[in-house]
Structure formats: structure tokens, C-alpha cells
Structure 1
Amino acid sequence: MIEQGQALPQGVLAELTSDGVVNHETATLFAGKKVVVFAVPGAFTPTCSAAHLPGYVTLADKIKAKGVDLIACVSVNDAFVMKAWGDAQNAQEIAMLADGDGSFTKALGLEMDTGAFGGVRSQRYAMIVENGVVTALNVEAPKSFEVSKAEVILDTL
């Protein structure tokens, strides 16, 4: 599992924009920026939709006021699902990034296998990344939602 002080692995995260699907190389996406990344097991799932994403939507301005250039939500879903979920949640201030094949999540060492429910998904976590290096990492215990909340990350910044 990735740890604080380590550089993010190379990867590609997809985002559906008005110009179509844009594939972001992680090295470029995180270069020279302070980024809050939070990951969810799946778009449109109960805790993710009722609390995790809405917390970041509500606190986006306060988080960005602390010098954050980008807030990114990552899930092992496709870019179309992530866009639809972001639209449904009023998440205009959040980059809704798809890790369609889970390769970035696996490179982080933060995958979990949910079996027939959904296959390989991401563990729930939040991290602060500065110029491609993890400066804070909060990984949730299974079935928990405490340390990756927007309020906790806001206090960490």
C-alpha cells in the first residue's frame, strides 16, 4: 500500500467532459499542484452518495481556500457513470475521475475484492497529494466512514 511520503504511481484516470472522454496521466494531473483525492467503492452506492461525495461538494470552497488546486473523486467505474453521478450530486467543483479497470487503484495497493457484488473496487480513502507526493493518507477500516470525510481532510490541510 502506498504510504505518506511516496510518489503516486503512474496511471491514467478518465474524465468525461463536454469534449468527450479525457484520459489524464497521473504524472501530469498531479504535477505542481496540491490535490485532495478521495476514493469510493462505487458511484451511486449508499454511503458514497449520502455522505462521502456530498461532504466534499459542501466543503469544496473551504478546502480550495486552504490552497488546494483540485479536488478529485476516484472510483473503479467508467467515465460515463462518474459524470452522471457527479451531475446527480451537483459536484461541479469536483473532478470525477474513473479508474475503469482498477489499475491505478491496484498500483496504490488500495483495492478490495467485493466478489460477485462488484468485483475489484477501491477501498474508501482520502489523501492529500502535493506535486505528486502523498503528504497525508487516511484509509478507512472495512465498512467504516470516519477518516476520509471532507471535514477530516479540511482539518488536516
Structure 2
Amino acid sequence: MTTAKAGDKLPDATVYEGKPDNKVKVRDVFKGKKGVLFGVPGAFTPGCSKTHLPGYISDYDKLTKAGAQVIACTSVNDAFVMAAWGEQNKADGKVLMLADTQMELTKGLGLTLDAEGMLGNKRCKRFSAVIEDDTITHMNVEPDGSGLSCSLASVVLEQLQKS
């Protein structure tokens, strides 16, 4: 699968929020809204916990002022792990924590990261995207799949301010 790009629609993927029986369609999250979706290789991992998620939480007010109506984080972890990670980082009310347990979203976006040697299984490449009514307007995928440069909140903020 090719990596999703600006102009592509979000895949019709199901993710989970808070607990395994709370199914969420990604398209429903962004339907009729402008927002930010970002993905990380793993909850509680160093770069994700020290920089990536905290950046979106600390820049929440700036991002919403620039037009984001919803901000969502996804990872190939279970719903309980994502909920606990969000709670630890005080994401409630700011960032939706979406578990992509079946990799429907990750595969649908063409963002599978082979992290078997590092994290034990396949994961999601680190990325960020600006979404407008289910359509990707900006797609930022880290060149190595896990770095912290083009997918940061500061980059997305600039993109929101220009659109």
C-alpha cells in the first residue's frame, strides 16, 4: 500500500477509545470537522511520552485557536493502554486517545512500521496529518518512521495557520 498523501480520504477504519468495546470510526471523528490526527509507534515509549504527545497537549490552545476542532492520537496499542497513557499525560478533553489494535488505520494509511526487533511487533510510523472533513490536507511522515521532526505539534500548527 502506498502512503496516504494530501488529497486522500481517511480510510474507513475502526479504532477503540477507552475500552475494547468502545468502537470508533475514524471518519466519524473528523466528519464535518477540521482536525489533527497523529500517530506514534508506541504508548509509553520515550519519544512518544517525552515529546510527541506532550507537545500536542501543551499546544492544545494554539492548535484549536488555529482551527483544529478535534485532535486525536493513535497507536497500535490496546484501548486500556492508550487510556492510561492519556490519563498519565492529562490528555482528557484535549486529545482523543485511539487504539488501533487491529492496525486498520495504520494499514489503511500505508504507515506500517516493522518494529519487531525494537517493540516486538509491527507498529505505526510516526506521523501527523491535518484533516478537513475526512480528507487529508497535510501529511507528515517521519523519514525513518520513528524520528521527531516533521510530525511535531509545532509543524502542524504552522500548517493550520496557513490553511
Which range, TM-score by smaller chain?
over 0.9
Correspondent of 1:130 among 129, 132, 138: 132
Correspondent of 1:155 among 155, 158, 161: 158
Q: C-alpha distance in 2, partners of 1:53/1:26?
A: 19
Task: Report the equivalent of 1:22.
Answer: 22
Number of equivalent positions = 155
Q: C-alpha distance in 2, partners of 1:110/1:61?
A: 28
Task: Report the equivalent of 1:46.
Answer: 46
Cα pair 1:86 1:96 within 8 Å, conserved: yes
3-state SS, counterpart of residue 54 of structure 2: helix
Cα pair 1:75 1:121 within 8 Å, conserved: yes
TM-score (norm 2): 0.91
TM-score (norm 1): 0.94
Residue correspondence of structure 1 range 6-155 to structure 2 within 5 A: 6-16=8-18, 21-92=21-92, 93-116=94-117, 117-142=119-144, 143-155=146-158
Cα pair 2:82 2:99 within 8 Å, conserved: yes
What letter is aligned with 2:10? Answer: L
Q: C-alpha distance in 2, partners of 1:89/1:46?
A: 13
For residues 79-131 of structure 1, the C-alpha deviation after alignment (integer angstroms, 9 at most, x for no partner) is 10000000111112100000011121011100111114321100000000100
What letter is aligned with 1:65? Answer: K
What letter is aligned with 1:103? Answer: E
Cα root mean square deviation, aligned: 1.3
Cα pair 2:35 2:67 within 8 Å, conserved: no
3-state SS, counterpart of residue 112 of structure 1: strand
3-state SS, counterpart of residue 59 of structure 2: helix
What letter is aligned with 2:52? Answer: H
Shift of 1:21: 4.1
Unaligned runs of 5+ residues in structure 1 are none
What letter is aligned with 2:71? Answer: I
Q: C-alpha distance in 1, partners of 2:9/2:82?
A: 25
Moved beyond 4 Å, runs of 4+:
none
Q: C-alpha distance in 1, partners of 2:38/2:27?
A: 17
